[in-house]
Amino acid sequence: MSIHYDLHTHSTASDGTLTPTELVQLAREQGVDVLALTDHDSTDGLEEAASAAQQVGIGFVPGIELSVSWKRRTIHIVGLNIDPSYEPLQQGIKKLQEFRDWRAEEMGRRLAKKGIEGAYEGAKKLCKGKILSRTHFAHYIASYKSMDSLRDVFKHYLVNGKPGYVSGEWAELEEGLSWITDAGGQAVIAHPARYGLTATKRRELITDFKECGGVGLEVVSGSHSRDDMYSSAFHAKQHGLLASVGSDYHGPSNPWLKLGKLEALPDGCQAIWSTWPDEQ
Determine the Cα angle at 277 with ends 271 and 279, to 5°: 50
Length of the chain: 280
Quick check: 11 binds ligand AMP (CB under 6 A)?
Answer: no
Select from Mn ion, ligand AMP, none the partner in contact with residue 150, using the beta carbon and a kind-dependent cut-off of 5 to 8 Å.
Answer: ligand AMP
Site string for Mn ion, 6-25 (x = CB under 5 A): ---------x----------
Cα separation of 30 and 235, whole Å?
Answer: 30
User: What number of CA atoms fall less than 13 Å from residue 153's CA on the CB side?
Assistant: 19
**6 vs 15, which CB is nearer to ligand AMP?**
15
Least distance from C-beta 91 to ligand AMP, angstroms? 19
**49 vs 190, which CB is nearer to ligand AMP?**
190
Instruction: Give how far Cα 35 sits from Cα of 187, 194, 199, 238, Å.
Output: 16, 22, 32, 27
Quick check: 70 binds ligand AMP (CB under 6 A)?
Answer: no
Quick check: 15 binds ligand AMP (CB under 6 A)?
Answer: yes
Print burial letters for 73-97: b (CB count within 10 Å at least 16), e (below 16): bebbbbbbbbebebeebeebbeebb
Cα separation of 277 and 280, whole Å?
Answer: 8
**41 vs 65, which CB is nearer to Mn ion?**
65
Site string for Mn ion, 229-258 (x = CB under 5 A): -------------------x----------
Quick check: 133 binds ligand AMP (CB under 6 A)?
Answer: yes
Mention every residue, 6+ apart, whose C-beta is less than 8 A from residue 70. Answer: 172, 173, 205, 208
Contact set for Mn ion, span 27-56 (CB under 5 A): none
Closest to 138 measured CA to CA, from 215, 253, 279: 253
Least distance from C-beta 40 to ligand AMP, angstroms? 5
Residue of 4, 28, 76, 224 that binds Mn ion (CB under 5 A): 76
**99 vs 112, which CB is nearer to Mn ion?**
99
Cα separation of 143 and 9, whole Å?
Answer: 25
User: What number of CA atoms fall less than 13 Å from residue 240's CA on the CB side?
Assistant: 4
Residue nearest to Mn ion (CB): 76
**# residues near Mn ion by CB under 5 A:** 5
**19 vs 133, which CB is nearer to ligand AMP?**
133
Quick check: 38 binds ligand AMP (CB under 6 A)?
Answer: no
Contact set for ligand AMP, span 146-165 (CB under 6 A): 150-151, 154
**39 vs 48, which CB is nearer to Mn ion?**
39
Cα separation of 205 and 199, whole Å?
Answer: 10
Residues that bind Mn ion (CB under 5 A): 15, 65, 76, 190, 248
